[in-house]
Amino acid sequence: MMRFIEGSIAVAEAVRMCRPQVISAYPITPQTHIVEALAEMVANCTLDAEYITVESEFSALSACLGAVAAGSRAYSATTSQGLFLMFEPCFNLAGMRLPMVMTIANRAVSAPLSIWNDQQDSISLRDSGWMQFYAEDNQEAADLHYLAYKVSEDHKVLLPAMVCFDGFILTHTYEPVDMPAQEQVDAYLPRFVPFEKLDAHDPISFGMFAFPEYYMEFRYAVDQAMQRAREKIRDAGKDLAGKIGRDYSAFVEGYQLEDAETVLIAMGSLCGTIKDAIDEMRGAGRKVGLLRIRTYRPFPGEEILAALSGAKRVAVLDKNISLGSKGAVGLEVKDALYGSGIPVLDYIVGLGGRDLRKRDIARIADLAEKGEGDLFYGLREGVA
Amino acid sequence: MVVDKSLELFDCGHRACGGCGPALAARLILKAAGKNTIVATATGCLEVFSSPYPETAWKVPWIHSLFENAAAVGSGIEAALKRQGRSEKVLVIGGDGASFDIGMLCISGAFERGHDLTYICYDNEAYMNTGIQRSGATPLDAHTTTSPAGRCSTGNSRPKKDMPAILAAHGAPYVATTSIAYPNDLMQKVERAMEVKGPCYVQVHAPCATGWGFESDRTMVVGKLAVETGLFVLFEQTDGTVTKVKKVMRKPVEEYLKVQKRFAHLFKPRRNEVEIARIQAMADANAAKYGIDIKLKKPMEKPAEKPVEKPGG
């Protein structure tokens, strides 16, 4: 059913239909509308779940960890500082192969304090063993939750997943969103069947101590699971397309790519603006296209290389910065294109909610065509 | 439900030091908790020596996540069990570092939310797993590697944090202290904590031969002396009221102090009367607060004095 709703509400409704049994979250802007909506559902018995109102994000994710280990489907949502407070349990959940889904309402990180959007928070957790999906709009943000649970709980994967969508830009924006019927979601996402669980009838030990002769194999196993997730994401995406008519099986999405000489690469809501800018540039006869990364972990290196075979140059718009190096996405795109001869230029954009408009996209395309890149775009005058 | 205490649910073959108080605590705790228990343990000595992959000493379902989150993990387990309508009890175990210090936030949250779980702190009074550093549970004047006694230091400068009082202040329905030196007391209190609905706290005094500096066959003796000197009081508190206290014929604190290397600087090169008196005053204050002194109804009659026979008289 098509509804005109706020992004956070669309996500909360999608989460409700995933039937989480334990929800634990801590309020943080701009995630709050999601967890408030879920609390209201629990209070009104439209969602049958335990809602643990914890004293910190650290406990929120730790409580989810315990719940999943005990065999329940768990959910949390956070952003920015909250995600950083979860840094330790994030790695721990993935290492223990405990599946769950967490929504990230992407926000800049302190200092200075900022509640506005960039993607530094979740990008900084890229090495944690969580799958990461980035939504362009609220329809996708909602839908990716069904997919994320499906893949996360697959016994060939068993890795937690983050569904990332831009704080305020999406979380607080009203858009028409098609919400499937509960029966459709139930048909797609069956009850959670844990691979192992804490059970007095079958006692096992979780989270043991590993000496050097075992540790590496555990980490290898997590990486192997991430590799297996590639196929599972494709399958789950196709399966979902069959159920709700929207296809998220591809890790990357092209826009006006076919004859594009300059290809912009980005993640999240920025891609909507880029598409509009490309339409204008195309109107002026410029061969510009977009490659949007939806699945960032596992990283779609091969898909990116395959999609860019005709490109003369690539401009990556990074809403993050690996300080002392470059934008994280740009670095990995370079790795994917190594040996292809396609130059990759990186642009740090939109940190802390700095707006990027269509004319900025055109200017970045200009810079890329001139071979000027690897810079912070749009700094205040006199700073650079 | 009667718990079968003959079961050994914490298996032998783990890698604890000889004379380890916490290992004995774990064995007794599980005897009292029984099979229908899920245990979440914080990082620390107990976790490391009991779970070196691929071995485990735990014959009940067991989970370790991180150092500071055991109470939060326990909260999540409890919520999941509730949702699934399962009967297992949740038992969270952490050392004093995990409980008094780094995990305090998570414990406070779990107790305030009123989860039905039992939190047990095995208290060996320092960070032993990392090599004997002071914690909030380290007693006054104890030498540790981060509170060393020296020319201008008498060891740890602060008394032990009153953790049971903090958790009682959260409205915990049952708070108790016990010691591995009193196995029946320990098992009774753990069993009681597991029975009482809501968040219950039990602090188990668990001497560490390695960290405190005594021979590994003296663990029970040292544990008893802590109680007999009034430095560690065994009590039970129900709904905020102290309902039971272990009474003792109190011994001077130096009987406890002098058998442990961590207090050796109070006696050598010379007796530090000031510090020993401070510690004695703490024991006296404990005795007054909890009323632990056994008061005899009438003074003991002195044995009839025999006339001293003078030699050659």
CATH of the domain at A372: 3.40.50.920
In tens, the pLDDT along A87-96 reads: 999 999 999 9
Residue A281 lies in a domain: yes
CB-nearest partner of A198 from B52, B69, B77 = B77
* Residues A239, A307 within the same domain: no
Instruction: Tell me if A205 and B58 make a contact (CB, 8 A cut-off).
Output: yes
* Domain stops at, among A244, A268, A301: A244
CA distance B294 to B286: 13
Residues A197 and A62 placed together within one structural domain of the fold:
yes
Q: With an 8 Å Cβ cutoff, are B72 and A49 in contact?
A: no
Instruction: List chain A residues with CB under 8 Å of B84.
Output: 21, 70-72
Identify which of B37, B65, B82 has the shortest CB distance to residue A207.
B65
Instruction: Give the CATH number for residue A111.
Output: 3.40.50.970
Please give the pLDDT value at position B313.
Answer: 40
End-of-domain residue from the set A213, A244, A275? A244
Query: B interface mutation test: which of A206, A216, A217 has the most B CBs within 10 A?
Result: A206
Q: Report the chain B residue with the minimal C-alpha distance to residue A55.
A: B109
φ/ψ of residue B58, rounded to 5: -90, 120
Residue A309: the pLDDT is 87
Both tokens of B108, joined, read: 């406070």
**C-alpha span between A263 and A288 (Å, rounded):** 6
Q: Which of B48, B69, B115 to mutate to test the interface with A (most CBs of A within 10 A)?
A: B69
Residue B64's Cβ-side half-sphere holds a number of Cα atoms within 13 Å equal to 26
- Determine how many CB atoms are found less than 10 A away from the CB of residue A312: 15
At A41, is the secondary structure helix, strand, or coil? helix
Which of B92, B75, B84, B106 lies closest to B37 in space, CA to CA? B92
Task: Note whether B166 contacts A: Cβ–Cβ < 8 A.
Answer: no
Residue A384 in any domain: the answer is no
> Tell me, what's the pLDDT at B308?
61
Residue B299 has pLDDT above 70, yes or no: no
* A284 and A223 both lie in a single domain: no
Q: Is A85 left (phi over 0), alpha (psi -120 to 50) or beta?
A: alpha
Q: Are strands A288-293 and A252-255 parallel, antiparallel or unpaired?
A: antiparallel
Distance, CA of B119 to CA of A309 (rounded, Å)? 60
Q: List Cα–Cα distances, A43 to A46, A50, A270, in angstroms.
A: 8, 10, 36
- Give the tens place of pLDDT for each residue, B20-53: 999 999 999 999 999 999 999 999 999 999 999 9
Tell me if A207 sits within 8 A of B63, measured CB to CB. Answer: yes
- CB neighbour list of residue B312: distance below 8 Å, 6 or more residues apart: none
How does pLDDT run across A147-189, given as a tens digit for each residue? 999 999 999 999 999 999 999 999 999 999 999 999 999 999 9
Is A22 buried (19+), middle (13-18) or exposed (0-12) by CB count in 10 A? buried
Spatial separation of the C-alpha atoms in residues A315 and B216, rounded to whole Å: 67
Q: pLDDT digits over A199-240, tens only?
A: 999 999 999 999 999 999 999 999 999 999 999 999 999 999
- Does residue B296 surpass a pLDDT of 90? no
Tally of helices (H runs) and strands (E runs) in chain B: 11, 10
- Chain B residue numbers touching A72 (CB-CB < 8 A): 79-80, 83-84
pLDDT of residue B302: 63
The mean pLDDT value of chain B amounts to 95
Q: Between residues 107 and 126 of chain B, which touch chain A (CB distance below 8 Å)? A: 108-110, 112-113
Q: At B251, is the secondary structure helix, strand, or coil?
A: coil
Peptide bond into A161 cis (omega under 30): no
Lowest mean pLDDT among A318-322, A377-381, B92-96, B135-139: A377-381
Bridge partners (DSSP) listed for residue A146: none
- Indicate if A209 and A233 belong to the same structural domain: yes
Residue A80 vs residues A114, A122, B56, B90, B241: alpha-carbon distances, Å: 9, 8, 37, 32, 44
H-helix or E-strand spanning residue B193 = helix B183-195
Residue-range domains of chain B with CATH: 21-290 (3.40.50.970)
pLDDT of residue B301: 62
Establish whether the linkage from the previous residue to B173 is cis, with ω within 30° of 0.
Answer: no
Q: What is the tally of structural domains in chain A? A: 2
The answer to whether residue A271 sits within a structural domain is yes
Vertex B205 angle, CA B200 and B208, to 5°: 140
Nearest to A59 among B58, B61, B69 (CB): B69
* Nearest in space to B213 (alpha carbons), one of B313, B144, B127, B152: B144
Query: How far, in Å, CA of A213 to CA of B206, rounded?
Result: 32
Q: What are phi and psi of A100, to 5 degrees?
A: -165, 175
Q: Rg for chain A (alpha carbons), in Å?
A: 21
Tokens of B296: 């005899």
Going from the C-alpha of A94 to that of each of A25, A301, A350, B71, B221, the distances in angstroms are: 18, 22, 30, 20, 45
SS3 state at B122: strand
Residues of chain A contacting B58 with CB distance shorter than 8 Å = 203, 205
**Is residue A382 included in any domain, yes or no?**
no
Identity of residue B109:
G
**pLDDT tens digits, A67-110:** 999 999 999 999 999 999 999 999 999 999 999 999 999 999 99
Report the length, in residues, of chain A. 384
Res. A6 pLDDT band, cuts 50 70 90: very high
Final residue of a domain: which of A215, A244, A273?
A: A244
Cα A100 from chain centre: 14
Cα distances (angstroms) measured from residue B88 to each of A49, A228, B29: 19, 35, 16
Residue at A383 is within a domain: no
My answer on whether A265 and A214 are in the same domain is: no
Report which residue type is found at B259: V
Of A161, A144, A143, A41, nearest in space to A94 by CA = A161
A313 and A209 part of one domain = no
Query: What ipTM describes this predicted complex?
Result: 0.96
Which ranges constitute the DSSP H helices of A322-379?
A: 328-337, 358-369
Which token pair is A184? 């459709």
Look at residue A160 and tell me if it is in a domain: yes
3-class secondary-structure state, position A313: strand
Contacts of B77 in chain A (CB under 8 A): 66-67, 69-70, 198
CA distance readout (Å), B223 to A314, B126, B220, B226, B259: 70, 15, 5, 5, 11
Take residue B83 and report the two structure tokens written for it: 């949702």
pLDDT in tens, B248-295: 999 999 999 999 999 999 999 999 999 999 999 999 999 999 999 998
Say whether B84 and A21 touch across the interface (CB within 8 A).
yes
Does residue A182 sit within a domain? yes
Same domain flag for A277 and A185:
no
Q: What is the C-alpha separation between B8 and B192, in angstroms, rounded? A: 19
Please give the single-letter amino acid code of residue B68.
E
Which residue among A21, A74, A200 sits closest to B35, beta carbon to beta carbon? A200
Question: Does A256 lie in the same domain as A181?
Answer: no
Q: Are residues A330 and A277 in the same domain?
A: yes
Suggest the residue from A42, A75, A199, A208 to mutate for an interface test with chain B (most B CBs closer than 10 A): A208
Of B100, B77, B75, B93, the closest CA to residue B30 belongs to B93
Phi/psi for B38 (5° steps) reads -110, 125
Residue B58 at interface with chain A, using a CB cutoff of 8 Å: yes
Boundaries of domain holding A357: 252-376
